[in-house]
């Protein structure tokens, strides 16, 4: 019989079902952590199973003509006894999968023995004879544990000579799970001048939202990457890459994507989408060619059937990578792809770095002049006008990335040393507003407020500094002096 309604709600729709993975030296695609349900009857009725599968295909597969061709192929094979000699459920699932893919040329379509939730010691079913899938939440949890042991596919993030960033990504997992890892990885890559994303050891599986999320770091404006058409319903979804609010901006960083024959499905969506927009250079070998979104269905006695229900269309090319794969811009064997990419990435990074640092120096000189001019206004005209000029100069440097917290602090102490206390207070307040979690920023503000005669404000600043860092001795000593004063 078909999956129950509440269990069906736990099923996933993605470019490909996520194959969980385990790190053993290099990351390898393996079966889920729970062992396949070994106690599925060795005498599975192949005719009944085929009938269930063909019914699912006729109702859900994205191409009705192909669905019928697959159904005919399975029925003929079953009637000829092709599946009767299967040694067990695993071999039976493999034989049916081979026939489905031969009839459809769709590598997303497959049948697998369902995992047994809870591990090999977990009993399946109960006295009422319920079968595999009785514990769908445990199945999901087991997959989650397995993904967690593989760091959710984020295998390596590092700096390479030439200021090239490198990310080894093995899966595009559910965004709710992988988002913190991706955000951390992109933060580590944020100051590099070229980025290489290595997909060569990709594990099949992924989600459109995750593809869009990662791609968003490399665009300055929202960009339509894919349209996903669902022929049965007539519905179409769109996958947009949007810049990450508050995240690093890598929109002008040269990007290189490494591919191999193992890159499939969501990895291809990411690669094809950025290549089609002219945003990435693809280096390696042609990918496998799977552009369909897949829905999984549970049927008894303990099989999962993966049925493609949607196809991807790229708005820039009008085409897709289904059956053809993504063609690299620089063709090389997979093993040599990183070296080939670095030969391009390092000169590109040098060019960007030279231009970026030249722009930064010009901006820094402009900001420095405006700061000196603003500080000089104190004592000439109104303090409000001087403070407004000072803040504009500080904001210009901060937004342009040439003023850091410690640099702003230096400006404040320069003002203190010059006896321009209101300018120092304004500068330190700016730092506190932009770096509210910095104990040092609050401590410095306290020092300026003491110099201005605002004891109450200084005490509040020192207390906040101590809340953030109870061991900040300078703030503690200053607060004790203020409290001991008559």
SS3 271: helix
Query: Which among 262, 372, 381, 238 is positioned nearest to 310, based on CA atoms?
Result: 238
CA–CA separation, 486 and 475 (whole Å): 19
Q: Can you give the pTM of this predicted structure? A: 0.83
Tens of pLDDT, residue by residue over 130-164, are 444 567 788 888 888 989 999 999 999 999 999 99
Contact, 423 vs 390, CB < 8 A?
yes
Name the stretches of the chain with pLDDT < 50. Answer: 1-12, 17-41, 119-132
Fold annotation for 1-331: 2-enoyl-CoA Hydratase; Chain A, domain 1 (3.90.226)
pLDDT at position 133 is 52
pLDDT at position 134 is 62
Report CA-CA distances (Å) from 270 to 132, 138, 147, 278: 35, 31, 20, 13
Query: Which among 264, 270, 259, 256 is positioned nearest to 225, based on CA atoms?
Result: 270
Q: What is the number of other CB atoms lying within 10 angstroms of the CB of residue 471?
A: 8
pLDDT at position 173 is 94
Instruction: List Cβ neighbours of 453 (8 Å cut-off, separation of 6 or more).
Output: none
Contact, 386 vs 378, CB < 8 A?
yes
pLDDT at position 168 is 98
Report CA-CA distances (Å) from 38 to 35, 171, 381: 8, 28, 85
CA–CA separation, 372 and 415 (whole Å): 10
End-to-end CA distance of the chain: 85
Contact, 291 vs 268, CB < 8 A?
yes
* Residue tagged 């697998």 (tokens): 112
pLDDT at position 452 is 95
CA–CA separation, 286 and 289 (whole Å): 9
Contact, 254 vs 162, CB < 8 A?
no
For domain 357-484, say whether CATH 1.10.10.60 is its number. Answer: no
pLDDT at position 15 is 57
Query: Which among 295, 311, 313 is positioned nearest to 17, based on CA atoms?
Result: 295
Q: Is the dihedral of CA 275, 279, 284, 287 positive or negative?
A: negative
Please give the DSSP secondary-structure letter assigned to residue 36. Answer: B
Same fold, 1-331 and 357-484: no
Query: Which among 273, 275, 218 is positioned nearest to 243, based on CA atoms?
Result: 218
Per the structure block, which two tokens stand in for 182?
């991706």
pLDDT at position 226 is 93
Q: How many helices (H) and strands (E) does the chain have?
A: 15, 14
- Domain ranges (residues) in the chain: 1-331, 357-484
pLDDT at position 118 is 53
Tens of pLDDT, residue by residue over 21-60, are 323 222 233 333 344 444 444 567 889 999 999 999 999 9
Query: What is the rounded (10 degree) CA torsion for 446, 449, 454, 457?
Result: -40
Tens of pLDDT, residue by residue over 268-315, are 999 999 999 999 999 999 999 999 999 999 998 889 999 999 999 999
CA–CA separation, 149 and 22 (whole Å): 6
């Amino acid at each position: 019989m078909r999956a129950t309604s509440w269990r069906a709600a736990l099923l996933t729709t993605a470019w490909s079902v996520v194959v969980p993975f385990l790190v053993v030296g290099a990351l390898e695609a393996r079966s889920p952590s729970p062992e396949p349900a070994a106690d599925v009857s060795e005498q599975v009725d192949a005719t009944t199973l085929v009938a269930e599968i063909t019914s699912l295909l006729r109702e859900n597969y994205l191409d009705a003509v192909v669905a019928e061709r697959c159904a005919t192929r399975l029925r003929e094979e079953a009637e000829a006894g092709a599946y009767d000699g299967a040694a067990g459920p695993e071999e039976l699932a493999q034989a049916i999968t081979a026939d489905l893919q031969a009839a459809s040329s769709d590598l997303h379509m497959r049948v697998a023995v369902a995992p047994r939730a809870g591990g090999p010691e977990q009993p399946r079913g109960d006295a009422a004879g319920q079968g595999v899938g009785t514990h769908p939440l445990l199945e999901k949890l087991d997959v989650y544990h397995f993904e967690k042991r593989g760091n959710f596919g984020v295998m390596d993030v590092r700096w390479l000579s030439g200021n090239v960033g490198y990310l080894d990504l093995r899966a595009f997992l559910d965004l709710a799970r992988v988002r913190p890892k991706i955000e951390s990885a992109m933060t580590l890559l944020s100051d590099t001048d070229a980025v290489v994303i290595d997909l060569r050891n990709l594990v099949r599986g992924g989600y459109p939202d995750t593809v869009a999320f990662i791609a968003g770091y490399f665009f300055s404006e929202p960009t339509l990457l894919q349209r996903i058409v669902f022929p049965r319903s007539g519905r179409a979804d769109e996958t947009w890459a949007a810049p990450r609010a508050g995240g690093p901006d890598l929109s002008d960083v040269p990007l290189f994507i490494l591919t191999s024959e193992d890159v499939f499905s969501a990895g291809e969506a990411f690669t094809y989408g950025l290549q089609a927009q002219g945003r990435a250079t693809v280096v390696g070998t042609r990918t496998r060619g799977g552009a369909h979104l897949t829905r999984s269905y549970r049927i008894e006695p303990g099989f999962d059937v993966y049925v493609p229900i949607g196809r991807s269309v790229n708005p820039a090319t009008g085409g897709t990578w289904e059956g053809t794969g993504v063609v690299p811009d620089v063709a090389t064997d997979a093993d040599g792809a990183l070296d080939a990419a670095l030969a391009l990435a390092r000169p590109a990074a040098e060019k960007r770095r030279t231009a970026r640092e030249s722009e930064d120096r010009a901006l820094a000189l402009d900001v420095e002049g405006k700061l000196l001019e603003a500080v000089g206004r104190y004592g000439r005209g109104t303090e409000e006008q001087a403070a407004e000029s000072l803040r504009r100069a500080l904001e210009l440097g901060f937004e342009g990335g040439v003023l850091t917290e410690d640099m702003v602090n230096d400006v404040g102490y320069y003002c203190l040393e010059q006896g321009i206390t209101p300018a120092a207070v304004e500068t330190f307040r700016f730092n506190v507003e932009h770096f509210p979690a910095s104990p040092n920023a609050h401590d410095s503000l306290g020092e300026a407020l003491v110099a201005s005669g605002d004891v109450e404000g200084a005490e509040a600043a020192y207390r906040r500094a101590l809340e953030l860092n109870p061991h900040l001795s300078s703030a503690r000593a200053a607060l004790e002096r203020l409290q001991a004063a008559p």
